Amino acid sequence: MNNLLTDKQFLLAAINQTMPFGKYAGRKLLHLPEPYLVWFYQKGFPEGKLGRQLALIYEIKLNGLEKMLKPLLA
């Protein structure tokens, strides 16, 4: 149960995280364009929490789950 709660918290944090740098700085990760996430996938996601969040958002978009998560945006 604790992992499930942690996973939910990580998901909510990831979709509500804003991009801290680059062309899309200030944009919520869930609103990043898919080609930008594909570029990160090909080049390598950054180290640490932001990289894990970007990888999650990549998978969300790849699997067409973005619309389902939009209501969770803060």
Q: Among 25, 56, 55, 57, which Cα is nearest to 42's?
A: 55
Q: Quick one: pLDDT at residue 5?
A: 53
Q: Is the pLDDT of residue 1 over 60?
A: no
- Distance, CA of 21 to CA of 2 (rounded, Å): 32
Q: How do the domains of the chain map onto residue ranges?
A: 2-72
Is 29 in a helix, a strand, or coil? helix
Name every residue whose Cβ is closer than 8 Å to that of residue 14 and which is 6 or more positions away in sequence: 29, 30, 52, 53, 56, 57
**pTM of the full structure:** 0.90
Looking at residue 23, the DSSP 8-state letter turns out to be T
Name every residue whose Cβ is closer than 8 Å to that of residue 31 and which is 6 or more positions away in sequence: none
* Model pLDDT for residues 16-66, shown as the tens digit of each residue: 999 999 999 999 999 999 999 999 999 999 999 999 999 999 999 999 999
